[in-house]
Structure 1
Amino acid sequence: MSVVMVNPSVKDDPFWRKVEQLTQEAATQLGVHFEVIYGEGNRFAQLDVLKRYLEYRATPDYLILINYPGGAEQSLSMLSKYNIKFVTLEQTISGAERTAIGHAGEHFKNWLGEIYHDNFKAGYLLAKTLTQTLQQPKELVKPILINGHYGSESDARSDGAKAYFKEQGIDVAQTVFAAWSKDQAMEKTEKLMKRYPDTNLIWCASDLMALGSETALRQSATTSHVAIGGFDWLDDALAFIEKDKLSASVGGHFMMGVWALISLYDYHHGNPYWATHQKMEFDLEAITKDNIAQFSAIRQSKEWEKIDFRALTLTHSGQKDYQVIHRFDELLHSLK
């Protein structure tokens, strides 16, 4: 069986590189022919590279991709033309575009299912975790929010953060957008700290932007403690948590490519999961200095080959559902 994954970013993106590497390891163990093409972080580029691949290469059995807002219907129509079965990662489409494409199997019969986490819950979790690490009375918590871009994924994350702060009676000074960019996060953090000098919590929609905020504070020689956190469990972010330079990172979704591949493997071998389900949803977890020792294996790629990915399939485990998808710690315990 052959599977192509459309990495929506560039080859050097640290988060998607980890997604890709883990999925490749699972494919190797399962005997799946696996290829990756790159969307270059742009919906037009992704649509073009997918179009060129399908025009000039052998048609794969299955495909894994993220729907880019503004390009979803064109991408899914193209896959239907070539009769390729596929699963999508993340829930990135909303509004009229979501109505147009529907849900898995509704308008596009080859769309087997969606694999995603709840970004609202994840944003709420990061806000709660950062607040707790401050160990300050609620009236002394002064947050700012650095979002990714204007889109459903990043908006859901920031909406979750805002919901938590509202519940706690904590006022958010300002929310800005930094386009998932470390450089933009640096620049905007510098300006925001001048505007709100009593800020002591910086919630970021990604670890890369959190690293940008940390750099800005370090360059300004800020002496007061500021709790900073993001998403993705990047290796650099986890190293900074160990050094008390960052306070938290929410993640676990770097496994979503693996679960997509495993679900396609099971489908290919006759398992009815995608015949009876439209989605596979999982929760993310927060890493802080208090629990980071439990997650050392995710930073050591040499350890990934010790994970028994065959045991995570329904085909070989005999399970009826992907129970492990909700428990990242069980994956770590599968290390031999």
Structure 2
Amino acid sequence: MTLRQQDDAFFSLLVDFTRAACDNLDMDLYTIYGNNSISYISENIDSILDKNKIDAMIILNYQDKINEIADKLESNKIPFFVYNSGFGSNNKNFLKSKYKFFLGEMLPTDEYAGYFLGKTLIDNSQPNGKGEYHLISLAGAVADEASIKRITGLNNFIKQSKKKIIIDKIFYLNWQRDEAAKIMKNEVSKMNHLSAIWAASDELALGALESLDTKAKSILIGGIDWSFEGVKAVSENKLFATVGGHFMDGAWISVLLHDYFHGIDIFDGNNNFLNSWMSLIRKNNSDKYLNFYNNRKKWKKIDFKKLSKVYNSRLKHYDFSEKNILPLIFPKD
């Protein structure tokens, strides 16, 4: 599994949950941290492939360099699954013909997340005297697919809404909290009319939160990712909402890889481009998820095998929907 940074609020959560699934499925998980450098990732992949027996890899598109990693895995005949950020606009049939060892792609519904967060913030904020809703948008890196799609979702909501919604400024940041805090320290003080701050990640939302003074508490802030700190801030009424759930994708891909290793046609000849579910956490349901995060030892007790065709011969289709997952992670005592 390739990632950005070991202490990243989102990816540290993803690794812990994926590891719980791999342990349950009797699989080994090795994590490569790229430290925000595509060359570092490439160099580590070379080293890993030379020194270890890798059965499959889960990779993501960072800085739009996924083809370099995919080419290397393809030449070494290593099956790979893409998560979080994909190939983008490449033709899907072309991808399957070019990469014989490409197993599939599971991406979050980023446009939906951006749309849903925008709608939630506007529906619960107050317009100015002219009936206008003013937003500041904190996006991620300008070339990152997740950021692009989340901004697209926000723009789609604004276009469809009958309300007068104006994005005063959009800032492209490198997903860093301190960058958001620095930017917003100057901006918020100038904008008494601001209704909300839409952030492409919880880290950016938390950075914006650091810059608000007591006069700006009426400004609603929301992020995306369901990070631990993000959910905690929602439970404390500091952030208004966070949209997420996709940190679990590594676990669902692990189930698919497990079955693939056991000879199962994991896609039944059908579409191998999947989207994971994302949903909203607000104050009313935040404590439930905060407790889930605070008791990560219980993740080892989650029976991921219930999602596997190897252990369930009657299972016809994989179901990683919210309806199926919530009873798994929140079993009734």
1:67 counterpart residue number: 61
CA contact (8 A) 2:108 2:276 kept: yes
Q: CA deviation at 1:103?
A: 5.5
1:250 counterpart residue number: 243
Confirm or deny that 1:331 pairs with 2:324: no
Aligned partner of residue 315 in structure 1, secondary structure: coil
Where structure 2 has 5 or more consecutive residues not aligned to the other structure, the ranges are none
Aligned partner of residue 173 in structure 1, secondary structure: strand
CA contact (8 A) 1:146 1:202 kept: yes
**TM-score, L = length of structure 2:** 0.91
CA contact (8 A) 1:61 1:85 kept: yes
CA contact (8 A) 1:64 1:87 kept: yes
Where structure 1 has 5 or more consecutive residues not aligned to the other structure, the ranges are none
1:107 counterpart residue number: 98
1:197 counterpart residue number: 192
Q: CA deviation at 1:142?
A: 1.7
1:213 counterpart residue number: 208
CA contact (8 A) 2:127 2:195 kept: no
Within the candidate set 313, 316, 319, 1:320 is matched to: 316
- In the aligned structure 1, how far is the partner of 2:255 from the partner of 2:191? 47
Q: CA deviation at 1:300?
A: 2.4
The worse-fitting range, judged by mean Cα deviation, of 190-199 and 324-333 is: 324-333
Within the candidate set 149, 168, 180, 1:173 is matched to: 168
Q: CA deviation at 1:114?
A: 0.2
- In the aligned structure 2, how far is the partner of 1:200 from the partner of 1:60? 50
CA contact (8 A) 1:63 1:86 kept: yes
Q: CA deviation at 1:196?
A: 2.6
Number of positions where the alignment pairs a residue of Structure 1 with one of Structure 2? 325
The worse-fitting range, judged by mean Cα deviation, of 314-323 and 230-239 is: 314-323
Confirm or deny that 1:116 pairs with 2:113: no
**TM-score, L = length of structure 1:** 0.90
1:162 counterpart residue number: 155
Amino acid corresponding to residue 131 of structure 2 in structure 1: E
The worse-fitting range, judged by mean Cα deviation, of 274-283 and 172-181 is: 274-283
Aligned partner of residue 314 in structure 1, secondary structure: coil
CA contact (8 A) 2:109 2:276 kept: yes
2:22 counterpart residue number: 27
Identity value in percent: 26
Confirm or deny that 1:80 pairs with 2:80: no
The worse-fitting range, judged by mean Cα deviation, of 63-72 and 291-300 is: 291-300
Q: Deviations over 1:283-330 (max 9, x none)?
A: 200101122234232442122122111112122133222223343423
1:10 counterpart residue number: 5
Within the candidate set 249, 253, 257, 1:260 is matched to: 253
RMSD of the alignment, in Å?
A: 2.1
Q: CA deviation at 1:79?
A: 0.5
Q: Closer, same or farther in 2 for the Cα pair 1:58/1:332, shift >3 Å?
A: closer
- In the aligned structure 1, how far is the partner of 2:298 from the partner of 2:304? 13
